[in-house]
Amino acid sequence: MAEDVDVVVIGLGPGGENAAGLLADAGLRVVGVESRLVGGECPYWACVPTKMMVRAGDLVRDAHRARDLAAETTVRPDWSRVAGRIRDDATNDWTDGPAADRLTKRGVTLVRGAGVITGPGEVTVGDRVFRAGRGIVLNTGTSPSVPPIDGLDGTPYWTNRDVVAVPTVPASLLVLGGGVVGVETAQVFARFGTRVTIVEGGPRLLSREEPEVGDLLGQVFEREGIDVRTNTRATGVSHDGGFTLHTGDGDLTAERLLVATGRHSNLPGLGLGRIGLREDARFVDVDGAMRAADGVWAIGDITGKGAFTHVSMYQSEIAVRAILDRPGPPAAYRAVPRVTFTDPEIGVVGLTEKEAEDQNLPVRTGFTRIQDSTRGWIQGPGGEGFIKLVADTEWGILVGATVMSPMGGEILGALAVAVHAEVPIDTLRTMIYAYPTFHRAIESALTDLEAT
Ligand SMILES: Cc1cc2nc3c(=O)[nH]c(=O)nc-3n(C[C@H](O)[C@H](O)[C@H](O)COP(=O)(O)OP(=O)(O)OC[C@H]3O[C@@H](n4cnc5c(N)ncnc54)[C@H](O)[C@@H]3O)c2cc1C
């Protein structure tokens, strides 16, 4: 017999977990359905453990850099400390007891298993059927995409889920894909002594970003001993103890292979057809209130609005407001920030120059190098990068910005405010920027913007 509830949340990634908790706080009868771990990808296989790896890699690198500036050092990287911290402190050995308890204490009924929409307002999990009076929230997230490369299937290749759990680093690693996951992982492992080769089909790393990003990151990686093969397509894989990647430019070999070629939405088999949506869609289309269909809301990576935890959380607040019939502004994505946690760190908000041009905006850019700033110079090794501003000259505001710098994601905060609040460039020009900070380079980029 069907169980009557108010809301069923399918998938408890960061946004789904947040939505389920808030709806229960508001007094609704909420069922949260999760087929793996409460909290989703971010705390167990993505943001949190990978940033712990990055932090560790940065410490190793800084210990080497200390030799130039401060101390005699002998550095013996020890991956077991990283692996132990991820296993014990961050992921509780990939169990979700504390997260599940937090949720159920707020009144959410947690149901383990795969949720399927079996009719309007109806969700089935195993042999239980729930009728959701107010609605269904979809937050099923993404999984690693594995390209159909000859010979790859059936080999013990890694995805992001394996990388965060390895007890030791391999002697050598091939990274297929020069996107965010590929470059963050490559740099960390190289810093722990792995011989790393990145194979990227496009002309540069991080192809979605400003071209200056990929160009500089490529140089930094080469200097750190990472072999970057751009414009290189993998045509086949063989595994015989180690991996051989066949490419148009010859064979590459390594002990391990990381496949980091993107993600696909967890939508097949969800029953979208039962509510009039396309089963084979790449993303779920949503309106400004995150509504996907009558009585159905979708949030997180599956909406295609930015595959980031902060977007998932942002959307969950909007969906909750809509379900509770509370007023509030619709979703806006003009100032979505994103950070790639390499060294130097890459923070981006809004549009790149090309994206702005593609939208036919009257564009002007401003550029400055971090090493030309006082703070960049003081920093010494690692103190390089740039700030690039993208302005709409008609409105006199910034529509996008990229910061590649030590702490680039933190410096980005000021520019995210500027893009979000449409702060006039004239106002940014008359601001006082503390000396000698990295963010003071924003002023130099603004000067360049006016000069161009
Ligand atoms: C390596 C890596 C690093 C990342 N680093 C960052 C970062 O630094 N910062 C950042 O903002 N973002 C980062 N991301 C992205 C971030 O992890 C996601 O954007 C974030 O997890 C939000 O995803 P989500 O809410 O859509 O759902 P997810 O976190 O993907 O969770 C979806 C949940 O739904 C469950 N599920 C799926 N189908 C069903 C079903 N039918 N029934 C029940 N349960 C189901 C899944 O088991 C999963 O737990 C990273 C991603 C990767 C891969």
Which residues have C-beta within 8 Å of that of residue 451, sequence separation ≥ 6?
Answer: none
Structure tokens of 321?
A: 């407001």
* Ligand 1 binding pocket includes 15 (Cβ within 6 Å): yes
Is 63 near ligand 1, meaning CB less than 6 Å away?
no
Does one domain contain both 316 and 413? no
Average pLDDT value over all residues in the chain: 97
Q: What CATH number is associated with residue 167?
A: 3.50.50.60
Q: Is residue 58 a part of any domain in this protein?
A: no
Q: Are residues 135 and 164 in the same domain?
A: no
Q: Are residues 257 and 269 in the same domain?
A: no
**If DSSP codes are grouped into helix, strand and coil, which group holds residue 395?**
coil
Q: Does residue 111 sit in the same domain as residue 226?
A: no
Mean pLDDT of successive 10-residue stretches along the chain, which has 452 residues: 96 98 98 98 98 98 96 96 98 97 98 98 98 98 96 96 97 98 98 98 97 98 98 97 95 98 97 94 97 98 98 98 98 98 98 98 98 98 97 98 98 98 98 98 97 78
Q: Ligand 1: which residue has its CA nearest to atom 3?
A: 46
Same domain? 318 vs 341 = no
The pLDDT tens digits for 53-68 are: 999 999 999 999 999 9
Report if residue 328 sits inside a domain: no
Ligand 1 binding pocket mutation candidate from 10, 36, 41 (most atoms within 8 A of CB): 41
Can you spell out the DSSP letters for 429-449? Answer: HTS---TT-STTHHHHHHHHH
Say which amino acid occupies 321.
Answer: R
Q: Is 266 in the pocket of ligand 1 (CB under 6 A)?
A: yes
Q: Which domain holds residue 284?
A: 3-39+96-144+264-323
- Note whether 251 and 268 are same-domain residues: no
- Does residue 245 form part of some domain? yes
Residues 412 and 436 in one domain: yes
pLDDT of 28 reads 98
Please give the structure tokens belonging to residue 172: 């050598």
Domain presence at residue 154: no
Q: What pLDDT is stored for residue 288 in this prediction?
A: 98
CA of 426 to the centre of ligand 1 (A): 40
Q: 171 and 215 share a domain?
A: yes
pLDDT score of 389: 98
Find, among 303, 258, 339, 274, the residue nearest to 119 by Cα. 274
> Angle at CA 54, nearest 5°, toward 311 and 414?
50
- Secondary structure (3-state) at 164: coil
**Which of ligand 1's atoms lies nearest the C-alpha of 181?**
1
DSSP 274: G
CATH number at residue 374: 3.30.390.30
Domain count, the chain: 3
In a domain, 296, yes or no: yes
Q: Residue 48 falls within a domain, yes or no?
A: no
Residues 351 and 442 in one domain: yes
195 and 276 both lie in a single domain: no
Tokens 């079996």 -> residue: 118
Q: What pLDDT is attached to residue 451?
A: 86
Q: Last residue of some domain: 208, 235, 261?
A: 261
In a domain, 194, yes or no: yes
Residues 227 and 130 in one domain: no
pTM greater than the 0.85 cutoff? yes
Q: 137 and 274: one domain?
A: yes
- Read off the pLDDT of residues 314-363 as tens digits, 9 standing for 90 and up: 999 999 999 999 999 999 999 999 999 999 999 999 999 999 999 999 99
- Residue linked to tokens 């002309």: 203
From the alpha carbon of 33, which atom of ligand 1 is closest?
43
- For residue 415 and ligand 1, the question of a CB distance below 6 A is answered with no
Most ligand 1 atoms within 8 A of CB, residue of 35, 42, 54 to mutate: 42
pLDDT at 1: 83
| Closest by CA position to 270, among listed 17, 33, 6 | 33
DSSP 58-88: HHHHHHHHHHHHT--------HHHHHHIIII
Q: Which residues contact residue 255 at a Cβ distance below 8 angstroms, ignoring those fewer than 6 apart?
A: 170, 171, 172, 173, 242, 243
What's the pLDDT score for residue 279?
Answer: 87
In a domain? residue 49: no
